[in-house]
Structure 1
Amino acid sequence: MNLPASFISAVERLIPRERRFDDPLSTLAFGTDASFYRLIPKLVVRVESEAEVVKLLRLASASRVPVTFRAAGTSLSGQAVTDSVLIVLGEHWNGRDIRNGGAQIRLQPGVIGAHANAVLAPLGRKIGPDPASINAAKIGGIVANNSSGMCCGTAQNSYHTLAALRLVLADGSVLDTEDPLSVARFQASHGELLERLAELGRQTRADEALAAKIRHKYRLKNTTGLSLNALVDYDQPLDILTHLMVGSEGTLGFISAVTYHTVPEHPHKASALIVFPDVETCCNAVPVLKQQPVSAVELLDRRSLRSVENMKGMPDWVKSLSATACALLIETRASGPSLLAEQIERIMASIADFPVEKQVDFSSDPAVYNQLWKIRKDTFPAVGAVRRTGTTVIIEDVTFPIERLAEGVNRLIQLLEKHRYDEAILFGHALEGNLHFVFTQGFDEPAQIARYEAFMQEVAQLVAVEFGGSLKAEHGTGRNMAPFVELEWGHDAYQLMWKIKRLLDPKGILNPDVVLSEDPELHLKNLKPLPAADEIVDKCIECGFCEPVCPSRGLTLTPRQRIVMWRDIQARRRDNAGSTALEKAYRYQGIDTCAATGLCAQRCPVGINTGDLVRKLRGLDAGHAGTADWLAEHFAASVRASRLVLLAADSARRLLGAPRLEKLSGVLSRISGGHLPQWTPAMPQPVRLKRPAAAQPDERPRVVYLAACVSRAMGPAGDDREQVPLLDKTRALLEKAGYQVVFPKGLDKLCCGQPFASKGYPEQAERKRRETLDALLEASRGGLDPIYCDTSPCTLRLVREQIDPRLQVFDPVKFIRTFLLERLDFEPQETPIAVHVTCSTQHLGEAEALIDIARRCAREVVVPEGIHCCGFAGDKGFTSPELNANALRTLKEAVQYCEEGISTSRTCEIGLSRHSGLDYHGLVYLVDRVSRAKARPV
């Protein structure tokens, strides 16, 4: 069904063109969430204010147009897909207000859960919900799904930690429960609705059998259906309404702000892994542990442990466990070390009589602690990584009454075996009887769908009917379990849910078929295809965990969307279905505006670097291999040419003035389609390179200094207060610290290969890399001397692939923390500094070290939230400046009180300087300024 013309024209008047999407690429890209369902919206609208939501809902209500709300799209049950209108949160939903010393926090729905915790952390607080997706999931989705997690349980979920809510109903009316004026207005305009809610509450509480059933269901972890516990827990209609909104999955209204009661975040923690000989013993220990001071108890069956036993870093003993082994990963937290020790003693004493096959004692050592949790966290991606291409990974989410947990686990295992889900694993939050089982499933053929249907019917009967449990503990009902809500809840409760739905959404426009559906086969329809696209990305499960760190998010496509679109293009090619238009759009949105820095791989559960796919695609289109060969062979000449270009630009600046040159170069850049870079005041001057004199041997320790090509070509900007080139500043700092600085032979021609790799010329890139490594091996006397590379992206390029083990190559951060801190005295400066952690610094594992060094150098350090990659990406800041601008759109406000920024990549610093209004410099400038050489003993 097409959208009414009157509705479309009204939306066009309301929402600017750049925030409306109806083209095939955008609708498919936005029509994907983390579930295994796919619906293509007819219109996607990015909203930036509550007023826009109000007007859209009034338009939708008048025209009876269904709408679906979407925050991060990490939901697993099909809550955030639609074939009608998709309303997506834009950039202006990030409001946060900490109250009462952190006891409460007011959040808008676009705030990422982990960001809320980051601002609460200095106060020793956090929000209650802790879903596994917290680094990507947004508050709107966390509340709407009543998400929980490993430590949250039922006591700290959104429902139980809710203090207040601001919401928009289907008719466009707004209610803010912590604003007395808003409440008064709503009571006047919606008094009948509130009275009907109050009456539903009275009727429900008076029905002893129904009320008892509701209380039983929410004694368990449960997100199946609407939150009927609101009707028995509260008698005031406003309380009933706000708590009904929690877990309603966008079917009852739009949540535009939530106030949480926060919970303590204890600083001291320890974990242990106890492996029991069988499921029964393991599960029987859980009720005992529930009475102890534990914050999390995670169950892992033998299949889960087997799925990770061959992974790097896993203990050898995992492989030797018995076939029936079942483990509990236990965590306890406390406010102090002595209390932590007492809690550990109590916990271990409580389970001392249970037979144990293997045990890793409680440890607060981060190395041990993190390794134990790595076992737990790697189980899900382990299944995803071994699945057959074209199949999806399904993670189901059920709850058994804890007293019947052992029986429930064994019965689930039997069902998985019966239906031949041989790769399936089972793990979960044991304290709540909440189990996740993960399996791979194809939907290409009717037989595969029939197998899935038979399995799910038996699971539903087992969990909901036989055990009286819940079919969805924390992932939400969605489309996946909507046909089973009545089976789980029974007729009376189910009809009560429909009464609530029709009361709050009488025209049925809010997310139809989600939570409640009259279609008994809904869960088998609109199943998402995952066609083969490329072996680099075929393991993608489209979870969206990658999206928050992508610099093109909000400009073009995210990594998830790049993969979705490439899959579709490849499928169209195979089917001769016509992909030309999509491919043309994908050229800019998917390839040209990808920074290809690979931060997505750090967030991806299966380690996919979408940048690798983009570089491969660039390579397929790279038609200038001869030119690349020439540049590789004559690299010194190309560096000299770069200096000449910078000299010409700087001469033009002096002649025309910065404002006129910036305007003129912008016009020329647009006319050339980005082939001519746009000049900005942050543009470097050329380095007037002095050829380093040959080092004369002395008693000082040697360091080989590899100055990157950008350091050899690009000096400071014309109006930068620092006018000493990075190369000279670095050499001076190293000599201050007592080092003899040695340069490799033929420095001018050396290159890590990154410029070639990013353009799709891997052969030339590897040739230059090998040449550089050979020169470094010689300069370091066979690896005897450490090697300092002054640019972190170049360091990463050199060390990421195979490298001679004798070579010790350091980026600025690692070299300074390893060698210079002990040789220098520091006097931190009073003026605040901003720190940008480059993508390469993150890949090298030096992010925290960079911040620690900065804090040694300055009393106040600002690390802008939400900026993970600057988007300059070598030369993208010149050729696609909109990518750099998009990635740094929040930078200026975040660093407005700073006087300087630091980083470890000269090209990144160009974009950072331009978009912050500060001068960004290499880390060595700051270290040199605040340090002096330690006195050497005579």
Structure 2
Amino acid sequence: MRERGFVEPAMNGPVEQLVSCLSPGTVVTDPAIVANYRFDWARDPSAGVPAAVVRARSTADVQTVLRWASENRVPVVPRGAGSSLAGGASGVEGGVTLSLELMRDVSVDVGNRVAVAQAGAITADVKTAAAAHGLWYPPDPSSYEMSSIGGNAATNAGGLCCLKYGVTGDYVLGMEVVLADGRIIRLGGPRLKDVAGLPLLRLFVGSEGTLGVITELTLRLLPPPPAPATLTATFGSVEAAAEAVVAITRQVRPAMLELMDRVAINAVEDLIRMDLDRSSEALLLARSDAPGAAAADELAIIEAACQASGAREVYTTTEQDEGDAFIHARRSALPAMERLGVLLIEDVGVPVPALPELVRGIRGIAEARNTIISVIAHAGDGNTHPVIAYPPGDDEAEARARLAFGDVMMLAIELGGTITGEHGVGRLKTPWLLDQLGHDSMALTRQIKDALDPAHILNPGVMLPEEPSA
């Protein structure tokens, strides 16, 4: 969104100098390889072409890059697995993309019940390492098989089970982070309670690489939950399903409470063929991992709420494989919808009681803009992913889709919600951040940015769209 105030920095420092400071092969300038780092999963067409990519192997490499970048005022885009859905890891023209994809070590401290992971470690690898010791790392974004743990922390990612178990930030006990000037600091550690000093750890969680580059995380682990029971319910309208969500969350807090509308249902069915009801306007997926008979009691409450909200059919199962198949269907929604065309993926959230009004308003926006908007959601906490689809190469359709993109964010703000619940602001949503936060909060954000990154080299264009004052 450069037309809304993005300032494109120029490359001033010689890349050759950086090459000489790092191990052979660490700095990549081959245009064919660099092109692979231009886009993240958001595929922002305005992404720039980096002058170089640095594939760091250690915190020392990151330190070297940031010292050089600060001295030469070169913009740096930190990147994990490139799975950002908000353009948070898209390239900056003439800058350096600092990839942590090779920093993937994970270890588990069973005594302290923590995992220590380098920032490039894939979330699934953290989960697997914990499971090998009979422990569990709960956060589970749909991209957990491809997203990096550092990226999860940088955006404070959530996931399907965050309704009951919380988001990434709830499990970050400590971190190593490199500041813009190259200073390495350690925050927190394997302690469950620690209130010494300002809560700096929380400042960096969710900062999207704008204040420093996270290189290592200390993550809290839990004992695994009991085997879950699963419920699915179909509805004649998305609003009815949303009303059921409101009723359910007033009474219980299930382990998962997910929603897919008819467009998503049919896209998933086209992809994986699992006999979903194509005629349903909405599918609600709930899971309980309460111990023993409590799970059946919880599902009974959920079923009653669904029936009272007009559910067409309700089905429950305690079979792990069958329940996992429904979870797989939900996780497949975004990849399945890529077949519909070019996607603009929203991440708006509202207080749960406003969920019916949000989905009703999204339907109105889709009609007014003559645009497909499919709604999938972590419905239990009000975090929705309206997915806007338009045909590739259709400029008019793209223009309508981008107007709808802004309309949906403004609707969420009007309902007391947020423009992002877990994907982050990135570059795609920065122009609307002021509408949510207001001038005073944005000014405070700038003060913090100025203190930690005075030259504004870190992820320029993310969160702060305006050119820094001289």
TM-score after normalising by structure 1: 0.46
Instruction: Evaluate the alpha carbon distance shift between residue 115 and residue 102 of structure 1 in structure 2; reply closer, same or farther with a 3 A threshold.
Output: farther
Aligned-partner SS, 1:25: helix
Aligned-partner SS, 1:497: helix
Quote how far apart the aligned CAs of 1:257 are. Answer: 1.2
Instruction: Evaluate the alpha carbon distance shift between residue 312 and residue 153 of structure 1 in structure 2; reply closer, same or farther with a 3 A threshold.
Output: closer
Q: Which amino acid aligns with 2:39?
A: T
| 2:242 alignment partner in structure 1 | 283
Q: Distance in 2 between matches of 1:99 and 1:470?
A: 36
Superposed, 1:181-200 pairs within 5 Å as: none
Retained in 1: the 8 A contact 2:106–2:118?
yes
Quote how far apart the aligned CAs of 1:310 are. Answer: 5.1
Q: Distance in 1 between matches of 2:446 and 2:294?
A: 49
Retained in 2: the 8 A contact 1:148–1:154?
no
Q: Distance in 1 between matches of 2:319 and 2:424?
A: 35
| 1:315 alignment partner in structure 2 | 275
| 2:263 alignment partner in structure 1 | 303
Q: Deviations over 1:339-384 (max 9, x none)?
A: 4334334443555544321122x21224432342344234323322
Superposed, 1:462-541 pairs within 5 Å as: 462-464=411-413, 466-518=414-466
Superposed, 1:592-741 pairs within 5 Å as: none
Instruction: Evaluate the alpha carbon distance shift between residue 503 and residue 437 of structure 1 in structure 2; reply closer, same or farther with a 3 A threshold.
Output: same
Retained in 2: the 8 A contact 1:144–1:247?
yes
Q: Deviations over 1:255-309 (max 9, x none)?
A: 1211122234314012111123333332222133223241011112233223345
Q: Distance in 2 between matches of 1:418 and 1:342?
A: 43
Q: Which amino acid aligns with 1:172?
A: G
Retained in 2: the 8 A contact 1:102–1:125?
no
Quote how far apart the aligned CAs of 1:506 are. Answer: 0.8
Q: Distance in 1 between matches of 2:164 and 2:182?
A: 32
Q: Which amino acid aligns with 2:149?
A: I
| 1:98 alignment partner in structure 2 | 108
The one of 15, 18, 43 aligned to 2:52: 43
Q: Distance in 1 between matches of 2:136 and 2:432?
A: 34
Aligned-partner SS, 1:153: helix
Retained in 2: the 8 A contact 1:400–1:470?
yes
Q: Which amino acid aligns with 2:303?
A: M
2:405 counterpart of 1:395? no
Retained in 2: the 8 A contact 1:245–1:252?
yes
Aligned-partner SS, 1:280: helix
| 2:401 alignment partner in structure 1 | 452
2:22 counterpart of 1:15? yes
Q: Which amino acid aligns with 1:177?
A: L
Quote how far apart the aligned CAs of 1:166 are. Answer: 1.3
The one of 331, 350, 372 aligned to 2:287: 331
Q: Which amino acid aligns with 1:161?
A: Y
Q: Which runs of 5+ in 1 are unaligned?
A: 181-233, 520-938
The one of 262, 265, 270 aligned to 2:224: 265
Quote how far apart the aligned CAs of 1:478 are. Answer: 0.4
Instruction: Evaluate the alpha carbon distance shift between residue 377 and residue 95 of structure 1 in structure 2; reply closer, same or farther with a 3 A threshold.
Output: closer
Aligned-partner SS, 2:408: helix
| 2:6 alignment partner in structure 1 | none
2:71 counterpart of 1:62? yes
Aligned-partner SS, 1:106: strand
Identity, % of aligned positions:
30
Instruction: Evaluate the alpha carbon distance shift between residue 19 and residue 442 of structure 1 in structure 2; reply closer, same or farther with a 3 A threshold.
Output: farther
Q: Which structure has the bigger radius of gyration?
A: 1
Retained in 2: the 8 A contact 1:33–1:80?
yes
| 2:5 alignment partner in structure 1 | none
Q: Distance in 2 between matches of 1:439 and 1:494?
A: 28
Instruction: Evaluate the alpha carbon distance shift between residue 236 and residue 286 of structure 1 in structure 2; reply closer, same or farther with a 3 A threshold.
Output: same
Quote how far apart the aligned CAs of 1:154 are. Answer: 8.2
Superposed, 1:287-436 pairs within 5 Å as: 287-290=246-249, 291-309=251-269, 313-315=273-275, 318-321=277-280, 325-335=281-291, 337-349=292-304, 351=306, 353-360=308-315, 362-387=316-341, 392-422=342-372, 424-436=373-385
C-alpha RMSD of the superposition: 2.5
Instruction: Evaluate the alpha carbon distance shift between residue 418 and residue 342 of structure 1 in structure 2; reply closer, same or farther with a 3 A threshold.
Output: same
Q: Which amino acid aligns with 2:120?
A: G
Retained in 2: the 8 A contact 1:268–1:340?
no
The worse-fitting range, judged by mean Cα deviation, of 48-57 and 437-446 is 437-446
2:178 counterpart of 1:172? no
Q: Which amino acid aligns with 1:400?
A: V
Q: Which amino acid aligns with 1:292?
A: V
The one of 87, 107, 111 aligned to 2:121: 111
Q: Which amino acid aligns with 1:456?
A: F
| 1:728 alignment partner in structure 2 | none
Aligned-partner SS, 2:418: coil
Superposed, 1:765-914 pairs within 5 Å as: none
Q: Distance in 1 between matches of 2:330 and 2:226?
A: 21
Higher strand share: 2
The one of 152, 158, 163 aligned to 2:173: 163
Quote how far apart the aligned CAs of 1:90 are. Answer: 5.0
The one of 100, 115, 133 aligned to 2:143: 133
Retained in 1: the 8 A contact 2:163–2:257?
no
Q: Distance in 2 between matches of 1:447 and 1:68?
A: 31
Aligned residues between the structures: 451
Quote how far apart the aligned CAs of 1:129 are. Answer: 2.1
Q: Which amino acid aligns with 1:494?
A: M
Q: Distance in 2 between matches of 1:350 and 1:441?
A: 35
TM-score after normalising by structure 2: 0.88
Quote how far apart the aligned CAs of 1:238 are. Answer: 4.0
Retained in 2: the 8 A contact 1:169–1:254?
yes
Aligned-partner SS, 1:470: coil
2:24 counterpart of 1:24? no
Q: Distance in 1 between matches of 2:235 and 2:227?
A: 26
Q: Which amino acid aligns with 2:53?
A: V
Q: Distance in 1 between matches of 2:340 and 2:405?
A: 22
Q: Distance in 1 between matches of 2:239 and 2:339?
A: 30
Quote how far apart the aligned CAs of 1:68 are. Answer: 1.1
Instruction: Evaluate the alpha carbon distance shift between residue 319 and residue 94 of structure 1 in structure 2; reply closer, same or farther with a 3 A threshold.
Output: closer
* More contact order relative to length (CA 8 Å, sep ≥ 6): 2
Q: Distance in 1 between matches of 2:223 and 2:26?
A: 39
Q: Distance in 1 between matches of 2:380 and 2:11?
A: 47
Instruction: Evaluate the alpha carbon distance shift between residue 448 and residue 355 of structure 1 in structure 2; reply closer, same or farther with a 3 A threshold.
Output: closer
Instruction: Evaluate the alpha carbon distance shift between residue 334 and residue 56 of structure 1 in structure 2; reply closer, same or farther with a 3 A threshold.
Output: same
Q: Distance in 1 between matches of 2:340 and 2:430?
A: 30
Q: Deviations over 1:658-698 (max 9, x none)?
A: xxxxxxxxxxxxxxxxxxxxxxxxxxxxxxxxxxxxxxxxx
Q: Distance in 2 between matches of 1:376 and 1:90?
A: 27
Q: Which runs of 5+ in 2 are unaligned?
A: 1-8
Higher helix share: 1
The one of 60, 83, 99 aligned to 1:88: 99
2:410 counterpart of 1:461? yes
Aligned-partner SS, 2:348: strand
Quote how far apart the aligned CAs of 1:432 are. Answer: 0.9
Retained in 2: the 8 A contact 1:426–1:436?
yes
Retained in 2: the 8 A contact 1:101–1:123?
no
The one of 437, 447, 456 aligned to 2:386: 437
Following TM superposition, where does structure 1 have runs of at least 4 consecutive aligned residues deviating by more than 6 angstroms?
A: none
2:15 counterpart of 1:4? no
Q: Distance in 1 between matches of 2:327 and 2:107?
A: 32
2:151 counterpart of 1:151? no
Instruction: Evaluate the alpha carbon distance shift between residue 15 and residue 469 of structure 1 in structure 2; reply closer, same or farther with a 3 A threshold.
Output: same
Quote how far apart the aligned CAs of 1:70 are. Answer: 1.0
Quote how far apart the aligned CAs of 1:102 are. Answer: 6.3
Quote how far apart the aligned CAs of 1:457 are. Answer: 3.0
The one of 33, 37, 54 aligned to 2:40: 33
